[in-house]
Structure 1
Amino acid sequence: LTGALSVTTHVRDAITVVHGPQGCTHHNFSLLHATSLDNDRIALPPLVSTGLSETDVVFGGEGALDRTLDLVIARSPGAVFVLSTCIVETIGDDVGMVCGSRSGVPVVMVPTAGFLGGSFQAGVNNALIALAGMARPAEGNGRVNIIGEKNLEYEVDENFAEVSRLLALLGLFVNIRFVHDLATDNIASLGAARLNVLRDPSLIPVGEYLKERFGTPYIPAYPVGITGPVAFLESVAGACGIDYRRAVDEEHALRQETLDDFADLAGAGISFAPLPPDPEGSRAAQDIAQALRLDITPSGCPVPVPVTPPIGITGVRRLLHRWRRALHA
């Protein structure tokens, strides 16, 4: 449920209905609101609960959903997304039937069973695929979609800016961020892009769905660490039939400039404690340390490693500033 909400609440003119007890909505509302504040977004998640009672649980909650949709649709949103909860899946409400009975405003059901199976990432993928169903094939515009940004990630906008910078080196520009701070009408252009860039490989099922639906190829992940950007440029250029040599030369120059800027750290002893749970983050940190000729040793100065790996050179620079502060403390 939370994974799907991290997607649907970023369609700014839509309303998400959580079909279940009020507590399910309240918990997620608090989480999403706090995360927005951490990312300097002063916005309340557009969430509405059907507020199932004990009577609804015993006799069925479809009527509660029907009444809630009446109230929500009267507000003329761009779309309504209906997310189910564990209790609704257990009692067997036909959420799809209730949603399908509506016309005018798009009412889209997103399957979000909890303890019956699935995970946070499954909710993200289900939501992206359900929202993609609102789009139709469109005339190509030569741009690139960004797919599945981690909206609860602290550096989501910084990471987007880095990917946009790399695409611009190849003369490419972003079509839509699917889904981050998006209007419902923008979803119509989803199929017009020449390429989709996925946030990470966990979104490959979404990439495959979009490829089958619109014929759009995809790159499976953002560029990670100090070696990722060049490989990313080559992959994007290959998918789009673009000469990447000039872009790669510029990126190599930026990488060397970054290493020169932090040359004062060379030779220092560092340790990664505690190690991040993501092996990719550990590998990226080791690559950065090796490029700067840092000595990784258990007795070295502990330096931070983010849970998610740094994206591109700008992510590496942010991490190195933190390492410098740790070493000079």
Structure 2
Amino acid sequence: MSSKPSPSNSSRFEGCTLTGALSVLTEVRDAVCIVHGPAGCTHHNFSLLHATLLSNGRVEVPRLLSTRLTENGIIFGGEEALEKTITRALSLSPTPASVFVLSTCIVETIGDDVAAVCAKERSIPVIAVPTAGFLGGVFETGIRNALSSVASLARPGGEATLSANLVGEKNLEYGVDENAAEIARLLSRLGIGVNLRFVREIGTRDIERLGSAAVNILREPALRPVGEDLKRRLGTPYVDSFPAGLTGTCRFLEDVGRICGIDASAAVEEERAYQAAMLARFAGIAGSRVHFQSPHPMLKTDPGAEAICTECAEALDLAVVPDGAAIPLPYPAPVGTAGLRRMLHRWRVLIREKRRQPA
């Protein structure tokens, strides 16, 4: 059994555009990703992705190929190397159902026409994904570009079902599957199922049904451009964030219900009762003194994290004071009621440790 990393150090929030895109595209299980650039770009990302998969109990090897550009390719152009690598990808066993070609900074600098090479007629889709971070992109830019590129495989005009797509899950995030399970639990209160996790552990053919959901649920507001893109392509409305906080979780149910034409009042009341029962399990820390702080000076915090923590502190009658137990602000914010329960378990440990310290 593998041990999972702690929430404080397991998520990647900034960094290379290429890495962000690969965190999405390698979750298309029957695809191959070609990194068009020097071998080091592929090696670095392979190591990161493989280590992250192992730390989460997934014994898998990302299917990555590199065009392995050298000085000669950089001087004279790398399109021929890309053609050869695509041919190699198509000859792999098992044969991939799709190929994604990711450009690196050096390739964009020398001006290779990656899109034109990928657009040639082939037996399977070969899709160019812009991932050159030197043009101003960061990790999340890669995620957005990858999601929009994968969406080109969807079939527009499919029959809509009372279901939802989870869009843009953070695949390198601690607890990603737990968060998806919480969304599924909340949706079940409305009688709505999950159509597709876009993109996590799916196949190329699965993407065809992307347009059949009644609503897209974005992982975070930064993905609104993707939500608008999918709405334009497929006509699917979206909720712009996973639920966060006690009130926010109930509001999420109301928002999804409104989009799907469902009266969410009963579901909201059920969830409020569920939350009350959850909070009752932490009655032992009522009246404790706490204060909230960034987990590390180099880590950013979720803009709404302090409000969510304050809401939970008020619900548990905790006093927020400078000399209270130090509570790290979560990033990203915990998802739904289940996420709050896990957060409060950590609070209880920290509060008890503070109580044991000599006065």
Q: Is the 8 A contact 1:304 1:322 kept in 2?
A: no
**What is the aligned partner in structure 1 of residue 350 from structure 2?**
326
Deviation at 1:289, TM superposition (A): 1.0
SS at match of 1:251: helix
| 1:133 partner SS | helix
Runs of 4+ in 1 over 6 A off after TM superposition: none
Within 5 A, what are the aligned runs for 1:86-97? 86-97=105-116
Instruction: Give distance in 1, aligned partners of 2:294 and 2:217.
Output: 31
Q: How does 1:12-91 map to 2 (within 5 A)?
A: 12-75=29-92, 76-91=95-110
The alpha-carbon deviation at position 246 of structure 1 amounts to 1.4
Partner of 2:314: 290
Paired with 1:273 and 1:142, the residues of 2 have a C-alpha distance of: 41
1:123 is matched with: 142
**From 205, 217, 240, the counterpart of 2:237:** 217
Residue matched to 1:201? 221
Structure 1 residue 140, shift from structure 2 partner: 1.4
Aligned-partner residue type, residue 37 of structure 1: L
| Shift of residue 304, structure 1, vs aligned partner | 3.1
Contact 1:278–1:307 under 8 Å retained in 2? yes
3-state SS, counterpart of residue 135 of structure 2: coil
State the Cα distance separating 1:309 from its structure 2 match. 0.6
State the AA in 2 paired with 1:294. Answer: L
Instruction: Return the alpha-carbon distance in structure 1 between the equivalents of residues 135 and 329 of structure 2.
Output: 34
TM-score normalised by structure 1 residue count: 0.98
Greater Cα offset, 283-292 or 125-134: 283-292
- Whether 1:279 aligns to 2:299 is no
Number of aligned residue pairs: give it.
329
Which residue of 264, 269, 281 maps to 2:284? 264
| CA displacement, residues 206-263 of structure 1 (integer Å, 9 cap, x when unaligned) | 1001111111110000000222110000000000000112111110101110111111
Q: Secondary structure at the match of 1:140?
A: coil
Separation in 2, partners of 1:228, 1:274: 22
* Inter-partner Cα distance in structure 1 for 2:231 and 2:216: 9
Work out the CA distance in 2 between the residues paired with 1:40 and 1:296: 38
Cross-structure match for 1:317: 341
Q: CA deviation at 1:13?
A: 0.6
The counterpart of 1:113, out of the listed 132, 135, 150, is 132
CA distance in 1, matches of 2:159, 2:301: 42
Q: Is residue 5 of structure 1 aligned with residue 22 of structure 2?
A: yes
Aligned counterparts of 1:206 and 1:5: Cα–Cα separation in 2: 17
- Aligned-pair identity in percent equals 53
Q: SS in structure 2 opposite 1:115?
A: helix
Quick one: which amino acid aligns to residue 294 of structure 2?
P
Give me the whole-angstrom Cα distance separating, in 2, the residues matched to 1:71 and 1:197: 37
Once residues 31 and 96 of structure 1 are traced to their aligned partners in structure 2, the CA distance between those partners, rounded to angstroms, is 27
SS in 1 for 2:236: coil
- Counterpart position of 1:142: 162
1:165 aligned counterpart, secondary structure:
helix
Correspondent of 1:180 among 187, 200, 216: 200
- Corresponding residue for residue 306 of structure 1: 330
Structure 1 unmatched ranges of 5 or more? none
AA aligned to 1:96 is A
In the other structure, the counterpart of 1:132 is: 151
Q: Is the 8 A contact 2:301 2:329 kept in 1?
A: no
1:64 and 1:218 map into 2 onto residues whose CA distance is 40
Q: 1:194, 1:217 within 8 Å by CA — same for their partners in 2? A: yes
**CA-to-partner distance for each residue in 1:79-122, whole Å, 9 max, x for gaps?**
00000000000000010111111411110110111112212111
Shift of 1:301: 1.0
Indicate if the aligned counterparts of 1:38 and 1:154 stay in contact, CA closer than 8 A. no
Task: State the shift of 1:281 in Å.
Answer: 1.6
**Counterparts of 1:26 and 1:280 in 2: how far apart (Å)?**
36
Match of 2:118 among 76, 80, 99: 99
